[in-house]
Structure 1
Amino acid sequence: MNFTRTLFPLSMLLLSGCVVGPDYQKPDTALPAKFTESKTSSAENVTLNPWWESFRDKRLNSLVHQGIGENLSVLTALERITAAEQGVVVAGAGSLPSLGASAGATAKGGHNNGTGETRTLSAGADASWLLDFFGQYRRAKESANASLDAAYDNVNVARLAYLSDLVSSYVNARYYQEALALNRKNLESRRETLKLTNEIKEAGAASSLDVLQAEGLVNQTLADLPALETGFLQSANHIATLLGVPAGTITASLTKGSAQPMPRYSTRVGVPADLIRNRPDIRSAERLLQAATAQIGVAEADLYPSIELGGSIGASRIFPGATNATSWSFGPSLTLPIFNGGALRAQVKIARSEAEQQYLAWKSTVLNAVEEVENAQSALIRDGQTVAALRKVVQSYEQTLNLARESYRGGASTILDVLDAERNVASARLSLASAIRQLARDYVSLNVAIGGGAEIGSPTVASR
């Protein structure tokens, strides 16, 4: 009965206890109504959009899906979810009663005064419950849950980084293959020019200098090939690493080249406010802000008294004689933080400062995301114009080269005119290939910047 009279009012006090510290409020920051070069219309949820499929490259699609569950950075982020889940368990366990048990046996012997051997068997149990009047453990669990949410979002951050790196590396690999093919085509053209120059020299209309100049251009083209081959091999090796397999594993399967990837669809970027919903790094930063805000309550709870209910019960049996002994105890204990040199209040200030830092980090993440979209969109538009212009440049220089050769055959121009025309054609073709690569990379950057595909294959958030 005494136990009930003691526990009941304490339980009522517990149920009516307050939760100290600020309640979390979603952060806000001023954002423009639209991006500079897009319309003021919100986009749908793009986190499940497989934007890389717009390249219409089956090999690329296969690589993306092969690596989505094998990339080591993504797997590491997934493993951090397990740790964060256990952090929630630890945070919640503090508000629950704890119970421990112990048992022991001893034996003593002696010969003084005829005393023989005695044996003692003992067992006991201890229980304690720290009453969470001021919400310390509730705030701690709130913080742990927010950190768990951030861990889920960080998986999507890692997945976006994987998609960006893999698709960009594939774009690079195909560029180097295209550049190699163009240089080999240029080599064939320059060898044809060298052959023509030798024929004209034999006819007495060209000099040895003309032949040497033509040979020099052939050799220069041969010297450019190894660097391009190295670029392809390094891109293929990096793709293998992103897939979680040893470098060189997929090189053979990529050796058979295909056309450079070109995006077939435009990207609807939406408005800046969409980024807060679609970008996993912004969501992660917000969850960390929520966790830091809850930690203020944890620190403030230490400023107030704490009451712990504790009790123990023990029993022992002594042989010979089989003497029994039992004992028990129960009661609350009160802890008052009277003097601590200002350490507890300093901890509150530290927690508030860390929450403010997390807010600034969130705001910085949002602004950086807006900048990334603006930059990628501007680059995509203008690099598309560059590609269109370079296509016309290549056509013009190819026609110029044909005319220069015909003129050289007829003796109306010199070998220098032909060599200059060949240089112009070669340079224009490589510039076009490079511009196509940059256009594809801009497309990748823009889709990653808006959070496209971040949740494809994402783990389900645990219910709690």
Structure 2
Amino acid sequence: MRVKGKRLNHTPRKKVTSCLAVGVIVCGAFSLSACAPLGPNYQDPDVDWLARWQPELYGQASVAADALDLSTWWQRFNDPVLDDLIIKAQHQNPGLKIAGLRILESRAVLGVASGLQYPQVQQLSASGAYVGQQRGGGEYRGFTSSEAAFNLGWEMDFWGRFRRGVESADAAYFASVTNHRDAQVLLAAQVASLYYGIKTTMQRIEIAQNNVTLQQRSYEITEQLYERGQDSELDLQQAKSQYLATEATIPGLQLILQQQRNALGAVLARAPNDLPELDAIDSALPQLSVLSIREIPAQLLLRRPDVRSAAWQAAAQSAQVGIAQADLYPSLSLFGTIGWSGDSLEATNDVVSLAAGPSLSWNIFNYGRLKNNVRAQDARLQQALEGYRARVLNAAREIDDAASRVAQTQASQKILDDSLVAAERSLAIATRRYQEGYSDFQRVLDAQARTFRQSDSTITNHGDHIAAIISLYRALGGGWQQATITTLVPEPTRELMAQRTDWGDLLEAPLNNPPAVGSPVATSQEQGASP
């Protein structure tokens, strides 16, 4: 074989021998890379008390096969305005958009980790030069030289460093998906709570205004009687004081109402006072029946998005322990270089060079740095496992607290309703007896004050009962739907990102969803999960 007139001195025997050696090295490296990766294989930690925890939800919930899907629990309220607000919030809320963009970020990070399993060095280099020389006799001579080379380096995944890296990135990706679901849960509960908080405050303002009208009428009558000398100034001042005190409660309630409207506007990414959806609503609050769910709370608890996020975060950290342990052992790499160099001088021939072989590197003297990194990663794993258990415990507490609040507010409601009926009857009797001259005006004032307090307490408790039911739905993990790439990030945003950066198919490819409750990493690997 000749290259521009220069013979390459390779005999067939040597060529065969070197090819066999390289083949043996490559096959051996691939077989070594198939070894089990270092580090622990993650499993969800056991929560021993959970199997025995079967709350009755204090009679506020029943398990029914035909129960309403918790993913759209707000439809139980039969309020089209609320349905519309939640749909708009799911498209417009800034926090939910950020959670969706973090999924795109984690897809890209997973692509980085996956790419490290392939040759890490793929370098093409080329250079050229022109050399000119002026001789003493005025003769000018010049020549050109150039060279090109392609370098390839591949660290074999003998200890599972890169496989654990993919495992960690895969778990982090699923954590970003469950974080997005948790953001949906919190968003739906926040919109519903603010919406019915607004209606509750509107009804409280109406009650206050009605009582102001009633008490103002009493004050005017008392004033007329006083001017005719038929009543004392004491009755006049007491009526005036009570009337003004009730009227003074309205500005505070109107402030609360404005703050609630602004909070709802912020959730919808609106400017203050930009909520035309609320212009035509009334203050009526729904009467809700017993909560019906499909499964027992203990099963729902483990599938809460925030609990799954804690599990995936622990799984991602578990893989980091294996990555750190791989640094304690030698790394085996294959390298190869093919190059060419030549010039324009006729006296020299072009040269083609080829080099290939294995490379071994080992950080022997690291002064405990690598071992302590393993220990640090293991401590972080244990923190993540304890964080998971704490998240489960907190979820159970939230379910129990919400259920208890539902039960207590419902029990209080019947008492308050009966008390309001009695207060209204007392006011009617006191007013008639005063008009007939059988009692003084103080009895009327006292009855008016009690009626106002009982009316306000009754509607406030009704609003608290609805808020408790919303909290129970949130505690059970309801209110999220499986996202798609089109619902994850709005199309205008994706178009802007595509114009700014080459995203390949990551802005269009379907999303892989996390496996069911169990062993997250093992299940995702069995399913070949990828973003």
8 A Cα contact 1:122 1:314, kept in partner: yes
Q: What residue in structure 2 maps to residue 155 of structure 1?
A: 180
Q: What residue in structure 1 maps to residue 198 of structure 2?
A: 173
SS in 1 for 2:103: helix
Label 1:236 to 1:264 Cα distance change in 2 as closer, same or farther (>3 A): farther
Match for residue 101 of structure 1 among 99, 124, 133: 124
Q: What residue in structure 2 maps to residue 427 of structure 1?
A: 453
**Residues in 2 aligned to 1:262 and 1:41: alpha-carbon distance in whole angstroms:** 17
Residue 213 (structure 2) pairs with residue 188 (structure 1): yes
**Residues in 1 aligned to 2:249 and 2:280: alpha-carbon distance in whole angstroms:** 19
8 A Cα contact 2:29 2:156, kept in partner: no
Residue 360 (structure 2) pairs with residue 334 (structure 1): yes
Q: What residue in structure 2 maps to residue 445 of structure 1?
A: 471
Q: What residue in structure 1 maps to residue 91 of structure 2?
A: 69
**Residues in 1 aligned to 2:182 and 2:364: alpha-carbon distance in whole angstroms:** 46
**Residues in 1 aligned to 2:391 and 2:90: alpha-carbon distance in whole angstroms:** 25
Partner amino acid, structure 1, of 2:53 = A
Shift of 1:200: 3.7
Q: Which sits farther off after the overlay, 417-426 or 85-94?
A: 85-94
The residue correspondences of 1:290-329 to structure 2 (distance < 5 A) are 290-319=315-344, 321=346, 323-329=349-355
Shift of 1:275: 3.5
- TM-score between both structures, scaled by the size of structure 1: 0.93
Q: Which sits farther off after the overlay, 347-356 or 101-110?
A: 101-110
**Residues in 1 aligned to 2:252 and 2:218: alpha-carbon distance in whole angstroms:** 24
Structure 2 residue runs of 5 or longer lacking an equivalent are 1-15, 489-509, 513-528
The residue correspondences of 1:214-363 to structure 2 (distance < 5 A) are 214-250=239-275, 253-254=278-279, 256-268=281-293, 270-319=295-344, 321=346, 323-363=349-389
Deviations 1:211-257 (A, max 9, x none): 22212222222221111111111111111111122221106734643
Partner amino acid, structure 2, of 1:309 = L
Shift of 1:38: 5.3
**Residues in 1 aligned to 2:482 and 2:426: alpha-carbon distance in whole angstroms:** 50
Q: What residue in structure 1 maps to residue 522 of structure 2?
A: none
Q: What residue in structure 1 maps to residue 24 of structure 2?
A: 8
SS in 1 for 2:106: helix
**Residues in 2 aligned to 1:288 and 1:237: alpha-carbon distance in whole angstroms:** 35
Shift of 1:161: 1.6
Deviations 1:28-59 (A, max 9, x none): 11113301545898788987531112222221
8 A Cα contact 1:285 1:365, kept in partner: yes
Deviations 1:333-353 (A, max 9, x none): 101232211111111111111
Deviations 1:339-381 (A, max 9, x none): 2111111111111111111100000000000000001001101
**Residues in 2 aligned to 1:417 and 1:456: alpha-carbon distance in whole angstroms:** 61
Q: Which sits farther off after the overlay, 152-161 or 273-282?
A: 273-282
- TM-score between both structures, scaled by the size of structure 2: 0.82
**Residues in 2 aligned to 1:104 and 1:327: alpha-carbon distance in whole angstroms:** 16
Label 1:263 to 1:317 Cα distance change in 2 as closer, same or farther (>3 A): farther
CA RMSD of aligned residues (A): 2.4
Q: Which sits farther off after the overlay, 122-131 or 368-377?
A: 122-131
SS in 2 for 1:108: strand
SS in 2 for 1:100: strand
**Residues in 1 aligned to 2:446 and 2:482: alpha-carbon distance in whole angstroms:** 51
**Residues in 2 aligned to 1:48 and 1:251: alpha-carbon distance in whole angstroms:** 28
**Residues in 2 aligned to 1:67 and 1:377: alpha-carbon distance in whole angstroms:** 26
**Residues in 2 aligned to 1:33 and 1:307: alpha-carbon distance in whole angstroms:** 51
Label 1:451 to 1:291 Cα distance change in 2 as closer, same or farther (>3 A): same
Partner amino acid, structure 2, of 1:294 = A
**Residues in 1 aligned to 2:198 and 2:24: alpha-carbon distance in whole angstroms:** 73
**Residues in 2 aligned to 1:291 and 1:302: alpha-carbon distance in whole angstroms:** 18
Label 1:434 to 1:219 Cα distance change in 2 as closer, same or farther (>3 A): same
Shift of 1:320: 5.0
Q: Which sits farther off after the overlay, 326-335 or 427-436?
A: 326-335
**Residues in 2 aligned to 1:237 and 1:210: alpha-carbon distance in whole angstroms:** 42
8 A Cα contact 1:311 1:330, kept in partner: yes
**Residues in 2 aligned to 1:304 and 1:353: alpha-carbon distance in whole angstroms:** 21
